[in-house]
C-alpha cells in the first residue's frame, strides 16, 4: 500500500480472511518451553535460525521442545544439523495438512517466526488466534501486524540473541506472555469474516 501511495495511487486494503473458529484459543498464563516454528523450510524463512535460537533456550530450559512443521528443500539439511548439534527435543513433522495445523498450535506455547522476507503471514495470525505468545523477526510488513510489546515481540532479521532473549523473557515473565496471548486473540479477530466482509464490499462498490 505504501508503494502504491508513493505513486499517487490509493489502493483499497482488504486483508486475508482467517477462519478464527478453526483455531481454539488457549490463554498462555504459565507458558512452558514448547516452541513451534511453522513455515516452508526454504532459505527466505531462515529455518536454521530457529535451531540456533532453540539451542539458547534449551541451554536454560533443558526440557524445552521445538516442533518444526513444514516441508521444503532444507528439511533434510535441518534434520542433519539438529543431529550434529545434539539438539534433543526437536521434532520435524514434515508437511502438515490443514486439518492437522490447529493441533500443532494447541500443543505449543511460544510461536517462533524467523523469516527474512515476508508480507502478512497467515501463520502469525493463526498463532495469535490460538493464543500463542509470538516472537518474530521484523521482516517486510510484519510490523504492520505485530506491535512490538503489545501483541508480540520483534527483533531484526538474523538477530539470534535478541530472538532467543525474547523467548527466554516470556518464559521468565508469565504475565508478559499472558498479555501477549490475550492481545493476540484480539489481533486475530481483525481477520475474521465479519470484519473483512464490509471491507471487501466497499472495495467492490457493493455498499
Q: Which of 26, 23, 56 is nearest to 38 (CA)?
A: 23
pLDDT of 128 over the 70 cut: yes
| Segment 21-68, tens digit of pLDDT | 899 999 999 999 999 999 999 999 999 999 999 999 999 999 999 999
Q: What is the pLDDT of residue 8?
A: 72
Tell me how far apart the alpha carbons of residues 207 and 202 are, in angstroms, rounded to a whole number.
Answer: 6
Percent of all residues in the chain with a pLDDT value above 70, rounded to a whole number: 87
Q: Kindly give the interhelix angle for 47-60 and 75-84, rounded to the nearest 10 degrees.
A: 30
Mean pLDDT calculated for residue range 154-175: 98
Of 3.30.70.1150, 1.10.260.40, 3.40.50.2000, 3.60.21.10, the CATH number of 29-191 is: 3.40.50.2000
Confidence of residue 169 (pLDDT cuts 50, 70, 90): very high
Mean pLDDT of the chain: 92
User: Among 2-6, 40-44, 80-84, 103-107, whose mean pLDDT is lowest?
Assistant: 2-6
- Residue pLDDT, tens place only, 176-189: 999 999 999 999 98
With 90 as the cut, is the pLDDT of residue 198 above it? Answer: no
Query: Residue 125: pLDDT above 60?
Result: yes
pLDDT of residue 32: 98
Distances (CA, A) of 106 to 84, 103, 124, 127, 156: 29, 5, 14, 9, 27
Position 9 scores a pLDDT of 67
Q: What's the confidence (pLDDT) of residue 132?
A: 98
Q: Is the pLDDT of residue 175 over 80?
A: yes
The predicted pLDDT at position 92 comes to: 98
- Low-confidence winner among 21-25, 149-153, 197-201 (lowest mean pLDDT): 197-201
CA Rg value for the chain = 17
Given a contact cutoff of 8 angstroms between Cβ atoms, the answer to whether 90 and 84 are in contact is no
pLDDT (mean) for 61-80: 98
Amino acid at each position: 500500500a505504501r508503494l502504491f501511495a508513493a505513486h499517487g495511487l490509493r489502493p483499497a486494503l482488504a486483508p486475508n480472511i482467517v477462519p478464527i473458529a478453526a483455531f481454539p484459543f488457549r490463554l498462555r498464563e504459565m507458558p512452558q518451553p514448547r516452541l513451534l516454528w511453522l513455515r516452508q523450510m526454504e532459505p527466505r524463512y531462515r529455518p536454521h535460525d530457529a535451531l540456533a535460537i532453540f539451542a539458547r533456550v534449551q541451554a536454560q530450559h533443558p526440557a524445552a521442545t521445538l516442533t518444526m512443521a513444514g516441508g521444503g528443500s532444507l528439511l533434510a539439511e535441518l534434520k542433519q544439523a539438529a543431529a550434529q548439534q545434539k539438539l534433543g527435543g526437536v521434532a520435524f513433522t514434515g508437511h502438515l495438512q490443514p486439518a492437522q495445523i490447529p493441533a500443532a498450535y494447541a500443543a505449543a506455547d511460544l510461536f517462533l517466526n524467523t523469516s527474512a522476507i515476508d508480507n502478512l503471514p497467515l501463520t502469525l495470525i493463526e498463532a495469535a488466534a490460538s493464543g500463542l505468545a509470538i516472537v518474530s523477526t521484523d521482516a517486510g510488513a510484519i510490523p504492520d501486524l505485530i506491535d512490538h510489546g503489545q501483541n508480540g515481540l520483534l527483533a531484526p532479521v538474523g538477530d539470534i540473541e535478541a530472538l532467543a532473549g525474547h523467548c527466554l523473557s516470556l518464559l521468565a515473565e508469565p504475565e508478559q506472555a499472558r498479555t501477549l496471548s490475550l492481545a493476540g486473540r484480539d489481533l486475530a479477530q481483525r481477520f475474521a469474516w465479519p470484519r473483512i466482509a464490509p471491507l471487501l464490499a466497499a472495495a467492490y462498490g457493493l455498499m
